[in-house]
Structure 1
Amino acid sequence: FYRPPCFSTMTPSPHLTCFLWIFRLSPSVLQGFICAAANEMETERFQQLAKAMKQKNVKLGEDQVSPHRVTLNGIPKDLDNYPKDMLLFLSPSDYAGTGSCQQYFSNIGEANIDLLPRDSPQRKQLLVEALACLEIPGTLVSEENAEILGHLVCDLGEEYIRSSSGSLLPQLNECESFVPSQEEAIRNVLSSGSTPFGPPSKWSASTLNELSGLFRLFDRDILQKIPQVCYKRASCCFLTCPRCECECPADKTITEEVVNDELMPIYYTPEELQACLQGVTLVEHLEQMANYAFTDQQLAVLKKKLDELYPSGYPEKIIPNLGAISSLVTINDIKKWNITSAATLAVLLSNEPPNEQVISWQLSAYLFIWISKGRRDASFYLPKSSLFCRMANSLDPSACPQSTKDILYPKAKQAFSDQRNQFPAYYNLIKPYLSGAPGEDLRALSKDNVNMDIGTFMSLKIDSVLNLTADDIKGLLGLNLQDLKKQQDNSPVKDWIRQQRQSELDKLGLGLTGGIPDGYISIPPKIESMKYMAFGFHQLLYCMS
């Protein structure tokens, strides 16, 4: 945790000192960094800081690219000097003083659009405005326009992918994920042979290299048409094998006898396992093979075989048999699992991978997935260490039912209690769990200049929000207070407005209406809070069996 000399009493201009100090830092240090003086900087100094972030090519988070401070005194005329990600939160009209809408969307195409949720209205509107700007009335997108759209191509519907044939492939190749309809459209386009690459039967290793980002979408029909020599060499390279000779040697064929030999690990290199072991064979003998003395590199091959066989997540029946392979599963792997049996959970909790750190987060992950799927309460088992809370952050606690959030918040608060007086560090840690926070804790945060974003505010419990005063909310939202107006028709904002005196609402200066006129008395509604009852482990097994 870096604390810059922002308020050194030895310097006449602490804000400038902070800025110059930050400018000398490397991008790796600047990433995620928030200067303690940033919120008190003059707008001009803050703008200089933002430009420094652009020059350093720092990867910023959503809460770091908000344009509120940069645009406080009006839209700058040199927006190209600011981080491209900031433009995601502005509009083409805001950019008009800097350049054309084509230039604006060209920058947007290079920005990290995943800072906006895929289904968010803001992200959808960006695509609509981009298509209008480029005057694309139908579903045919030219290569030139595809280059301008950049990452926005990842949001185009399947009709655009089909109509545009191969012109979108370079951009689609860079996308992190697709919806099923997009995947099917991409496969159809690739199979049609109408792209510059021609039909799959004519593809070369270099073709597969250019399409490496789409390799995971190839179905059996496409794979069977690709020349085998080309496919084997390319697929091996995609799997990052040290060498690309992927044919299984004749004397390395894996038979039933080989599988039943516990010395199997010494007979095969990781590359030979990759070439010779069939996924079906692994699944049939998983319980046995997962307990052989494979090296980490060999175990990685086994896991990759399972990943290829079950891209949507392992079926529950094989999860208890993962053995040593379980030490390699990631949080994203576990998120795909659908654990429905308490017996399976019991087996997972009893597994003992060799790495103690892996044990800690994996056990936490198993429990987190269990309760987030609406299973019986597992709070009895939740680790008390902050490791669980940091891990759960990656698993998105917002997906949990409210009763689970009510469990997670006090545990997170306890886990991070040693950093309670360190801001913004404490707020960034506790933020994912605030949807389970009581009103008194939110009131305490309102005094710490946390500048809560409106998305986090909208996720708060209604009964907690109703306990807040206008001053509390002003303190919580800080620079983001204006966003409250946009949510006045949505819960919990509308519920809170109805419980406030209009005179108090007027003090916020947002033009909020619907409060209680002076002289009237309001009887607040009764808010029922569901509480989870704690079960012992034997009770959990009994209830879910």
Structure 2
Amino acid sequence: MLLYYDYGTVQDCNSYFIFLGGADFSIPSSILKRQHALFNNAQTCLGISGFSLSNSQVGILGNMICTLDSSYIQNSDPLIIEKLKNCGDLTASQVTGIQTLLFSGNTPYGKSSTWNLQTLEQLDPLPLYLNQDFWARFTSTVKKTFLQSFIPALRTKKTPVTKLQNLFTACNSNLRSRRAAGCTTDEITEAIITDPSFPHFYDSTQFDLCLNVTTLTSNLAAITQKVVDLGMERVILNKLNQAYPSGLGDSVLQLLGSTSRVADVSEIYTWNITSIDTLSSLMNPTNGAWTSEQVDAIIMVYLSVAGQTLGSAELNAIGSNICSLSVSVLNNITADNLKNANHVNLLSCSMDQKIVLYNIANISFSDMQINSTEYYMLIAPFLGGAPVADIQELSTQNINMDISTFLSLNSAVVMV
């Protein structure tokens, strides 16, 4: 509530910002530029000038620290590092500021030459974001010990694949590629795979040389759950293509996870996607993003199986990837199937796609038009493709259009 409180009515600004410091600053709409206004008020109230924040100022600002860039972070009291641990995410600028402050040696963590396992444990969760310059300060033994508990904790929190990939790259950046004729690291066995730090400390070349096809196919789920490096994922697909020359089937595809994203379009067309479970698994957004071409290929392969259609279950599986489908494919969606499917964000759809989906949705919810409020709630996600006449009709109803729906409208319609 305090995030949107009328600051002009605040009598004790110091107390206001003390309480505001516990808020979630990811909530304010970027459209309203609320965060900038709040910090401007805080500067005036707390006497903040320049980019240096005192211990007291950092303590009062609390979670508002999560909105500041490196200019403030690297020049402020070291308490700012502790406050940044509470942020839901960190920008590249903020990471630069954190590392600059840490490398200065003027924090409770001391000089980098003294850093050890305890340092990594005390910095949690920040090591997820820090780059290779930070990780280069630790020995392989220290990193491996830390990662054995850190990686499982990150997976439990459902950390996005992209962040895990960045962590892997930062940790492994000092590895020299070993282009030996054979495996010079440990042969990858089931015991190696179960180590929580696996596959850290392998580069993609050694990963390829040390992993045989039999071990891969016998431990596919365990391996793909842990491997996030793009080079290693390419190795996995190459070996699977050797094991299944006629194309990967449902049982294999459902276990690929983020590895599926490195497949090229021609490769996808060799897959055998025959079940909705496989389609749902492949479309799972937690495993990373697909390109439009990849999504189109996956759907085409799925629809090539006799009897497969874009039913409600398929639409739910595809989610926002629906914007990757061609207009001709979208035209095959029936009104009933769209009506019974979950609504998704269509902002990335082209105008032609939005028009097709709106026309289908308008039929889907036509029986709800007698209740303008209920009809609006159902049709709102599709209004980006609505013609002028339909928007004008809605404007005569007792409806309050939210800002995100308004921004999704065709600009030509808005200007009429």
Q: Secondary structure at the match of 1:246?
A: coil
User: Which residue matches 1:155?
Assistant: 67
Quote how far apart the aligned CAs of 1:157 are: 2.0
For residue 165 of structure 2, what is the aligned residue in structure 1? none
* Structure 1 residue 427 displacement after superposition: 3.0
Structure 1 residue 368 displacement after superposition: 0.8
- Give the deviation of 1:136 after TM superposition: 1.0
Give the counterpart of 2:358 among 406, 409, 416: 409
Report what 1:232 is aligned to: 147
Q: C-alpha distance in 2, partners of 1:387/1:164?
A: 54
Q: Which residue of 2 aligns with 1:94?
A: 9
Supply the RMSD in Å over aligned alpha carbons: 4.5
8 Å contact kept, 2:233–2:262: no
2:107 pairs with 1:195: yes
Are residue 259 (structure 1) and residue 171 (structure 2) matched?
no
Residue 101 of structure 1: CA displacement?
Answer: 1.9
- Unaligned 5+ segments in structure 2 are 157-192, 200-205, 242-247, 272-277, 304-310
Correspondence for 1:133 among 37, 42, 45: 45
Distance 1:202 1:94 in 2: 50
Give the aligned partner of residue 430 of structure 1. Answer: 379
User: Is the contact made by 1:364 and 1:382 (CA closer than 8 Å) also made in structure 2?
Assistant: no
Shift of the 364–95 alpha-carbon distance from structure 1 to 2, 3 Å rule, reads same
Counterpart secondary structure, 1:409: helix
The answer to whether residue 174 in structure 2 is matched with residue 220 in structure 1 is no
The reply on whether 1:285 has 2:236 as its aligned counterpart is yes
* Counterpart residue identity of residue 392, structure 1: V
Structure-2 separation of matches of 1:143 and 1:443: 55
Unaligned 5+ runs, structure 1: 1-83, 308-313, 466-491, 493-526, 528-545
Looking at structure 1, the residues matched to 372 and 148 of structure 2 have their Cα atoms a distance apart, in angstroms, of 52
Q: Structure 2 matches for 1:63-78, cutoff 5 A?
A: none
Residue 366 of structure 1 corresponds to which residue in structure 2? Answer: 321
The normalised TM-score by structure 2 is 0.65
Q: What CA distance in whole angstroms lies between the structure 2 residues aligned with 1:405 and 1:389?
A: 16
Q: Which of residues 11, 14, 28 in structure 2 aligns to 1:116?
A: 28
Q: Counterparts of 2:108 and 2:279 in 1: how far apart (Å)?
A: 41
Q: Quick one: distance in 1 between partners of 2:321 and 2:267?
A: 12
Q: 1:400 to 1:254 in 2, by over 3 A?
A: closer
Q: Does residue 1:347 correspond to 2:301, yes or no?
A: no
Q: Secondary structure at the match of 1:140?
A: coil
Q: CA deviation at 1:176?
A: 3.1
| 1:485 paired residue number | none
Aligned to 1:386, which of 338, 350, 355? 338
Query: In the alignment, what sits opposite 1:176?
Result: 88
One-letter amino acid of the counterpart of residue 316, structure 2: W
C-alpha separation between the residues in 1 aligned to 2:112 and 2:63? 26
Deviations along 1:505-537, one digit per CA (max 9) or x if unpaired, are: xxxxxxxxxxxxxxxxxxxxxx7xxxxxxxxxx
Indicate conservation of the 8 Å contact 2:208/2:232, yes or no.
no
SS of aligned partner of 1:427: helix
- The alpha-carbon deviation at position 380 of structure 1 amounts to 3.5
Task: State whether structure 2 residue 394 is matched by structure 1 residue 445.
Answer: yes
For the Cα contact (< 8 Å) 1:109–1:148, is it kept in 2?
A: yes
Contact 2:330 2:356 in 1 (8 A): yes
Give per-residue Cα distances to partners, 1:145-186, cap 9 Å, x unaligned.
334333322221221122126322233223333443333333
Q: Distance in 2 between matches of 1:135 and 1:427?
A: 48
Q: Distance in 1 between matches of 2:313 and 2:59?
A: 42
The corresponding residue for 1:481 is none
Distance 1:367 1:147, change over 3 A: same
The aligned counterpart of 2:166 is none
Question: Quick one: distance in 1 between partners of 2:352 and 2:219?
Answer: 52
C-alpha spacing 1:275/1:101, structure 2 compared with 1 (3 Å)? same
The alignment partner of 1:114 has SS state of coil
Return the letter of the residue paired with 1:427: Y
Q: 1:116 to 1:239 in 2, by over 3 A?
A: closer
Contact residue 279 and residue 317 of structure 2 kept, 8 A: no
Letter in 2 for 1:168: I
State how many pairs are aligned: 351
| 2:16 equivalent in structure 1 | 104
Q: Offset at 1:137?
A: 0.9
